[in-house]
Amino acid sequence: MTTHTNTWFYYLLFILFSLVNIPIEAQDAQGEKPNFIIIFADDLGYGDLSSYGHPSIKTPYLDRMAEEGQKWTNFYVAASVCTPSRAAILTGRLPVRSGMASSKRRVLFPDSKGGLPASEITLAEHLKSAGYNTACIGKWHLGHKDAFLPTTHGFDYYFGIPYSNDMDRTSQLPYREYLMQADEKIKTEDFNVPLYRNTEIIERPVNQNTITKRYSEETINYIKEHKKSPFFVYLAHNLPHVPLFVSEEYKGKSARGLYGDIIEEIDAGVGDIMNFLEEEGLAENTILVFTSDNGPWLTFKEKGGSAGLLRAGKGTTWEGGMREPALFWGPGTIKPGLRHDLGSSMDLFVTFSKMAGLEVPTDREMDGVDISGTLLNGNPSTRKSILYYRGTEIYAVRIGKYKAHYITQGEYGEFGKREEHEPPILYNLDTDPSEQFELTGDYTDVLNEFDLILEQHNAKLVKGKDQLVERE
């Protein structure tokens, strides 16, 4: 062969090699790196699913996740209200570190100037560095200014509302008076909340009647388009946060009333996603998680959910405020079983990073731990304690079965009388999950353990600049 032919020969060989290799590489990547879907409900309580004991709400698909996957009974979020809880699940860090918790305002509002700082690394951003396609579908609530939208935080795609569905209210009635009216008097057009696609507002006011269904559909469409490479979808439903809205198809279906209709519509969407994953052969390589951002909004009576046997609800550091249903599904991947281990929404960052072959950031304090040993092999969870923050203060701590309350307070405003406890009120959550019976007697050793945990935590704590306080 002449030199000239040689060059062509090798060139052709190179092209053939590349052609053969592209699909193999893509397949390998798909085979090695699991896909992740987190479904995050809003204000859904510990007792709101039939698999967690609700007697009249039917959730067959979530129950199927529980049966075929792992159902956790001691799984916590990092805050009992929206904004800080969302910051924590996406960063694997306590919201006090990012400034997404405040002692002045509990969440972001449409007049807020702040948001999740660019210096924070979200799970989406982190997974992107390992080649993931990432989508945020649903409620964001981590800053609605351009600088803070999901697309600035590692999400390739965003379809959703930037803050809560009860904001931008146009009715002249006082907030609570309006919301406590009969269901048929609550209109979706009374909330001038925008719906975004990426950085554009595409609908305002968003039609909240159809939003639950649309979020589930968007999720399936996104996966359809990105199933060839690993993907991460964060599906954060607006509901069942008040005001309550449901599509015609689900209206009047549940014995629990409108609230139940909504849970059942969310459940149906979970079923559609599971079925789709199975049809596409993606189920074995996808971890599907279902949990909620905080406990039920009890002061809204039947319009709020149920914490089951847990005490109190949203806004508090009682169990009902921060312990949530948590279901993990992945046939052949997630080891089925009922888990009484401690877990936290912040653990998802660390766990999924590890499963994607990524190191966890070492330039900052992380509050999540790796629970993949529990999820994949059924080993005991590596998490030993839970810190219950309200705003920027620790109100309570759980170590193993014991929980100590240093400060207790009701939900909001008129309902929220603050009391400090020295020594702390102690409960045994194994024998008394409803926090009804204060432990008396000598618990010096137990209390010393609490002191040590708090000392270690506080010694390393750097509070982020308050992002919730500044308003326009």
Per the CB < 8 A criterion, the answer to whether 265 and 259 are in contact is no
Cβ closer to Mg ion: 98 or 133? 98
Cβ closer to Mg ion: 139 or 227? 139
The minimum distance between CB 239 and Mg ion, in angstroms, equals: 10
Cβ closer to Mg ion: 82 or 121? 82
Q: Using CA atoms, how far apart are residues 50 and 151, in angstroms rounded to an integer? A: 35
Question: At 128, is the secondary structure helix, strand, or coil?
Answer: helix
Cβ closer to Mg ion: 69 or 269? 269
Strands (E) in 12-156, as ranges, are 35-41, 70-76, 133-138
Binding mask 199-238 for Mg ion (x = CB under 5 A): ----------------------------------------
- CA 281: distance to chain centroid? 26
141 given a catalytic annotation: yes
The minimum distance between CB 86 and Mg ion, in angstroms, equals: 8
- From the list 13-21, 35-43, 165-173, 430-438, the region that binds Mg ion by CB under 5 A is 35-43
Contact between 42 and Mg ion by CB under 5 A: the answer reads yes
The minimum distance between CB 294 and Mg ion, in angstroms, equals: 5
* One residue of 43, 168, 265, 267 binding Mg ion per CB under 5 A: 43
Cβ closer to Mg ion: 120 or 324? 324
Select which of 82, 136, 144, 405 is catalytic.
82
User: How does strand 157-160 pair with strand 337-344?
Assistant: unpaired
Contacting Mg ion within 281-310 (CB under 5 A): 293-294
Select which of 54, 126, 141, 153 is catalytic.
141
- From the list 25-33, 38-46, 117-125, 444-452, the region that binds Mg ion by CB under 5 A is 38-46
The minimum distance between CB 171 and Mg ion, in angstroms, equals: 21
- From the list 4-12, 41-49, 191-199, 209-217, the region that binds Mg ion by CB under 5 A is 41-49
Cβ closer to Mg ion: 193 or 274? 193
User: Residue 277 corresponds to which tokens in the numbers above?
Assistant: 């994953």
136 given a catalytic annotation: no
H helix or E strand, kind and range, residue 84: helix 82-91
Residue 437: partners with Cβ closer than 8 Å, 6 or more residues away: 427
Residue closest to Mg ion, measured at CB: 82
Residue 87: partners with Cβ closer than 8 Å, 6 or more residues away: 93, 95, 98, 100, 101, 116, 120, 142
The minimum distance between CB 298 and Mg ion, in angstroms, equals: 13
- From the list 22-30, 42-50, 324-332, 400-408, the region that binds Mg ion by CB under 5 A is 42-50
- From the list 79-87, 100-108, 244-252, 332-340, the region that binds Mg ion by CB under 5 A is 79-87
* One residue of 38, 65, 78, 82 binding Mg ion per CB under 5 A: 82
Q: Helices 347-355 & 82-91, crossing angle to 10 degrees?
A: 30
Cβ closer to Mg ion: 293 or 341? 293
Q: State the burial class of residue 357 (Cβ atoms within 10 Å of its Cβ: 0-12, 13-18, 19+).
A: exposed
- CA 27: distance to chain centroid? 29
Q: Using CA atoms, how far apart are residues 50 and 57, in angstroms rounded to an integer? A: 6
Strands (E) in 187-336, as ranges, are 195-197, 200-203, 231-236, 286-292, 323-329
Contact between 264 and Mg ion by CB under 5 A: the answer reads no
Residue 64: partners with Cβ closer than 8 Å, 6 or more residues away: 271, 274, 329
User: Residue 367 corresponds to which tokens in the numbers above?
Assistant: 């509050």
The minimum distance between CB 226 and Mg ion, in angstroms, equals: 28
**Secondary structure (DSSP) of 315-345:** TSSSHHHHEEEEEEE-TTTSPPEEEEEEEET
The minimum distance between CB 251 and Mg ion, in angstroms, equals: 23
HSE-up of 164 (CA within 13 Å, CB side)? 21
Cβ closer to Mg ion: 93 or 141? 141
Neighbours of 98 (CB within 10 A): 24
- From the list 5-13, 40-48, 66-74, 335-343, the region that binds Mg ion by CB under 5 A is 40-48
The minimum distance between CB 78 and Mg ion, in angstroms, equals: 12
Contacting Mg ion within 415-454 (CB under 5 A): none
List residues with catalytic annotation.
82, 141
Footprint of Mg ion (CB under 5 A):
42-43, 82, 293-294
